[in-house]
A and B are shown apart, each in its own frame.
With several copies, the nearest count.
Chain A
Amino acid sequence: MPRFIDRDTRVVVQGITGSQGEFHTRLMKEYGTKIVAGVTPGRGGMEEVGIPVFDTIVEAKESHEIDASIIFVPAPYALDAALEAVEAELDPVVVITEGIPVRDSIQLVARAKLNGTTIVGPNTPGLIKAGESKMGIMPAQVFKKGDVGIISRSGTLFYEIAAHITRLGLGESTCVGLGGDPVVGLEFIDVLRWFEDDPETKAVALIGEIGGDAEERAAEFISGGEFTKPIAAYIAGRAAVPGKRMGHAGAIIQGSSGSAESKINALKKAGVSVGDLPGQVAEALRELL
């Protein structure tokens, strides 16, 4: 079972002194996230947004209790930073960084698995428990405490659909961005399992896109009957052309695999309501609830 967050989750920000790290630390704090420490090697001893900065997580842990980590470290150093969090038994480890070599992601995911650590991302907007805490870069205003869990491979489209859900008065429970890279830690199935057991989640919005077969596997999982809550989906990329990366490193139709059509068909076959427009996901959920 992956580990997610709530208002009590104590978070360290790795790469807190970078511009992205600093900016989002401020926003997360404002949202209510318990940011207790920051880490940037070579910057130990300073403060950033009122948060003490350490050179290493081990040192941060000497004076602070820390549960989870969010990473804004530049791509060449992100693997080491994430492994530091894994070794320090932090969980989840949310990797915001974009542009990490796929070889590093493979290493990270495999080594985290040995340790039983949940890796969210890389190249993820992060995760949020609406109204309590966010470890991510999503705009707070589109989320409102409610019943819908969201899982998304993309960022802004995820906010777009969250906004629709919020506008219809449904609100969100826990929302997780999986990340737009070809190799990421957490997958749809992992989050669906977690949502199945989460009493605060009554329905789920699944937001996929072209590339890979994570949506098809999610559909298979749902068909298997292990997931029993109402679910609606949107798949981006019907208009995409094969062989071209559509922004995300992972969003590419290769040969006959990874098309939006294949994903939509698989989900529909599994009984999932798939919207033609992002707004239809929220409408479908309202009817299903």
Chain B
Amino acid sequence: MKLLEYEAKDYFRKYGIPTPEGCMITDPVQARMFIEKLGKPIVIKAQLPVGGRGKAGGIQFADTPNEAKNMAAHMLGKQIKGLTIEKLYVEEKLDIVNEIYLGVTIDRRNKSHVILASSEGGVEIEVVAEETPEKIIRHLVDPVNGLRSFHANLIAKRLGFKGRKMRQFADFVMKLYSLADEMDAELTEINPLAELEDGFIAADARLLVDNNALFRHKELEDKLLSSLQGELTEREMEARAQDLTYVELDGDIGIIGNGAGLTMATLDTVMLYGGKAANFLDLGGGATPERIEKAVKFVLRDTRTKAVFVNVLGGITRGDHTAQGIVAARQELGSVKPIVVRMAGTKEKEGRRILKKAGIETLDSMEEGAKLAVKLAEGS
């Protein structure tokens, strides 16, 4: 899950990472109060779970209390990428000598955390990786031995820092890694990490926590759903609330499969035959009739859907359960949209019998099923 900047900075402070003085506000008056107390120019940042807010006007500056209040009032309620700004983060404006990038993420190939640092801060790291890869320092963290001060010193050194600055930056690296490790971060990054005259400070803060690890971070569980707003479409949010593994696509054939690989292959096959999937919906293993009914209903209700292809290879998932779920969904919705079912494996015969009775076509192979679904979607 993606934390907002102000939430991420709360964790940064907990781990002793220097951050500018700031606070989250929801009312323009608070912006005035903050700048009055601070007595220095401030930056006002929209708190939204999407990237690229800077270009979209989500980062503004103010030098006086009135400016701060007016600007905050101007920003609150505005929309960026379809999301309404409800929270702002006001923060002291920094005298930045230099902008650095520092991040910790997972290296799939090496099966470890990797620390990325670059003297090219303030730019997206992907852009740096593309254009000047030699400017990115990569340090793989040994999972058994962890990160030690000498690793951090070397990272700081490679970035060009010496003496006191080297040790200050190394300290920053150590703390950010501790946070990444203990908070189960899939990604945490500071971009830009500001170099000041006498040290470093996290001008921005990004923190993505592994959803699978939320049992270790109970305080975040409640925030999960709201954190997904920027990431998921409305329909995906709905599916999530119904506990369905669903990805929205832009075609017109609803796809339901059991197992991620099979469902992906179903999409691919539909595409191969000239169709376009409206979604990816993975039932997972051993779905009950109720779960299947819920899934089919969810896809049928999608007005874009012209036909539905259900592809179930039975192992733990039973054919009869699948059939029952499909029939129930269709009956309850009174839907006449064509449904194609490919069914094989456990309780296949029983399933086919149930579907036949309900007038739903079943096929032996995914290929045939995909072909038929494409044809039906075109014909409708």
A and B touch in the complex (CB under 8 A): yes
Q: Which residue on A lies nearest to B214, using beta carbons?
A: A101
How extensive is the interface on chain A, given as a class?
Answer: 35 or more
- Please encode chain B, from 113 to 146, with 1 for each CB lying within 8 Å of some chain A CB and 0 for all others: 1000000000000100000000000000011110
Name the B residues within 8 Å of A100 (CB-CB).
212
Listed stretches B54-62, B149-157, B289-297; interface member: B149-157
Residues of B within 8 A of A278 (CB): 265, 269, 366
Query: Which residues in window 153-172 of B have CB below 8 A to A?
Result: 153-154, 157, 162-164, 166-167, 170
Taking CB atoms, residues of chain B closer than 8 Å to A279 are 365-367
Taking the complex as formed, is A45 at the interface, i.e. its CB lies under 8 A from any CB of chain B? yes
Chain A residues near B247 (CB-CB < 8 A): 241, 244-246
Shortest distance between the CB of B148 and any CB in chain A (Å): 5
What size tier do the contact residues of chain B reach? 35 or more
Which residues on the B side are within 8 Å of A239 (C-beta)? 249, 264, 267-268, 270-271, 277
Task: Fill in one digit per residue for A97-133: 1 if any B CB lies within 8 Å of its CB, else 0.
Answer: 0011111111101110010000000000000000000
Q: Which residues of A contact B258 (CB under 8 A)?
A: 156
Task: Tell me how far the C-beta of A155 lies from the nearest C-beta in chain B, rounded to whole angstroms.
Answer: 5
Minimal beta-carbon separation of B64 from chain A (angstroms)? 41
A115, B113: Cα distance in complex, Å: 21
Which of B184, B262, B285, B365 sits near A157, CB closer than 8 Å?
B262
Quick check: which of B9-17, B22-30, B104-112 contacts chain A, the rest being far away?
B104-112
Please tell me if the beta carbons of B249 and A241 are within 8 angstroms of each other in the complex. Answer: yes
Indicate if the CB atoms of B264 and A42 lie closer than 8 Å. no
Q: Which residue of A lies closest to B365 (CB)?
A: A279
- Tell me the bound Cα distance from A114 to B345 in angstroms: 40
Are the C-beta atoms of B112 and A276 separated by less than 8 Å? no
Q: Cβ of B259: which chain A residues have Cβ within 8 Å of it?
A: 154-157, 247
B17 to chain A, nearest CB (A): 19
Least Cβ distance of A152 to chain B in Å? Answer: 7
B261 within 8 A of A: yes
Other-chain contact of A163, B215, B277, B282, B344 (Cβ < 8 Å): B344
Tell whether, in the assembled complex, residue B260 and residue A154 are in contact, meaning their CB atoms are under 8 Å apart. Answer: yes
Contacts of A217 in B (CB 8 A): 109
Interface residue A213 (Cβ < 8 Å from any Cβ of B): yes
In the complex, chain A residues whose CB is within 8 Å of the CB of B264: 154, 157, 209-210, 236-237, 239-240, 246-247, 251
CB distance from A284 to the nearest CB of B (A): 15
Question: In the assembled complex, how far is the CB of residue A137 from the closest CB belonging to chain B, in whole angstroms?
Answer: 7
Minimum C-beta distance from B81 to chain A (A): 14
Question: A89 at interface (Cβ–Cβ under 8 A)?
Answer: no
Q: A84-B150, A183-B111, A277-B269 are in contact. Are A139 and B345 (CB under 8 A)?
A: yes
Cβ of A139: which chain B residues have Cβ within 8 Å of it? 313-316, 345-346
Q: Which of B111, B316, B365 has the most CB of A within 10 A?
A: B111
Q: Does B67 contact A (CB under 8 A)?
A: no
A45-B345 in contact given A248-B260, A277-B272 (Cβ < 8 Å): no
Closest chain A residue to B150 by CB distance?
A: A84
Q: Which residue of B is nearest A99, CB measured?
A: B212
Q: What is the minimal beta-carbon distance from B337 to any residue of chain A, in angstroms?
A: 21
Within 8 A of A (CB), among B201-227: 210, 212-213, 215-216
Q: Are B153 and A101 in contact (CB under 8 A)?
A: no
* Chain A to chain B contacts (Cβ below 8 Å), 5 pairs: A42-B166, A58-B150, A139-B313, A217-B109, A241-B247
Known A-B contacts: A45-B162, A139-B346, A155-B260. Give 9 more (CB < 8 A): A75-B215, A102-B106, A110-B144, A137-B315, A183-B106, A212-B108, A237-B268, A239-B271, A240-B280
